[in-house]
Structure 1
């Protein structure tokens, strides 16, 4: 997925009032401030109340649901090998979030984990270094995950 497609997706979601934060590989790159590697998809934490509006906005860009594991996640794809993975988050009054997990557990998003970064010269909402490190644990990392972890650990110092 290209940086220009990331911008197009973020613009479409902003137009419908969906607040999102970039995670995954693009989220790491947003924190670094530059693209460090190619990305298959765009991972987004999204406020759960905006999920339906977001799916309609993405449909206008040619995206269709490919994987529906709601309330955990929904992945959409479009021609040209474009993929977006939405992770619906329910927020409390203090700005802390919770996302359902596949095993019945939950992923927590402390209010402080919502920060900003830069993708191709544009400021974007993203997940903090600490949150990204938490999400990169608990599974066997691939080579790209190991590269992302190394970048995150350098930013921790």
Structure 2
């Protein structure tokens, strides 16, 4: 089952209703929110929450029919509902400068820079907090990108003028 815009928005609003701070993360809905339109189907919604609110996030999403199916609340965890829709949560610890330290499953720490949390996008015309275009570009590096990732990065470059890394561009020829 795909995660459509109304489902993604319901998840975000459900978290916000329980005072959970939430940002669309470095996934397809984060890109599409910045672009203000859905550009492709999404199997899940990637979110960033504060690690000290991870349990509250689980409780809020449980009320929407989701349950944790993998991961740990101190690291990445995934929730799924009976329809097969998924929510991929990256809990962060904010440092004194506003950077979000995310401990990955392998124990390494990925740092979401403070400035990246200033993004605003929209889903179905409603404003949502998300990573900035620059944050999306940096998060989409260091691994083998597929064509979907490259299309996302090209759309952000076209709309916002963010500079892409060589591996984020479609190969010439």
Q: TM-score, normalised by structure 1?
A: 0.93
Equivalent of 1:150, from 140, 143, 154? 154
Q: Does the aligned pair in 1 maintain the 2:34–2:132 contact within 8 Å?
A: yes
Deviation of the 1:94 alpha carbon:
2.8
Residues 70-109 of structure 1: CA distance to partner in whole angstroms, max 9, x if unpaired? 4320000012221100000101233221101233321112
For residue 62 of structure 1, what is the aligned residue in structure 2?
Answer: 65
| Mapping for residues 71-150 of structure 1, pairs under 5 Å | 71-114=74-117, 115-150=119-154
For residue 10 of structure 2, what is the aligned residue in structure 1?
Answer: 8
Q: Does the aligned pair in 2 maintain the 1:76–1:84 contact within 8 Å?
A: yes
Cα root mean square deviation, aligned: 1.4
For residue 32 of structure 1, what is the aligned residue in structure 2?
Answer: 35
Q: Which has the higher contact order (CA 8 A, sep 6+)?
A: 1
Distance in 1, Cα, partners of 2:88 & 2:8: 12
Which structure has more strand as a fraction of its residues? 1
Query: Secondary structure, in 3 states, of the residue corresponding to 2:96?
Result: coil
Distance in 2, Cα, partners of 1:93 & 1:138: 26
Distance in 2, Cα, partners of 1:155 & 1:67: 35
Distance in 1, Cα, partners of 2:81 & 2:148: 23
Q: Does the aligned pair in 2 maintain the 1:129–1:155 contact within 8 Å?
A: no
Distance in 1, Cα, partners of 2:83 & 2:113: 35
Max radius of gyration: which structure?
2
Distance in 1, Cα, partners of 2:91 & 2:72: 11
**Gaps spanning 5+ residues in structure 1: where?**
none
Q: TM-score, normalised by structure 2?
A: 0.85
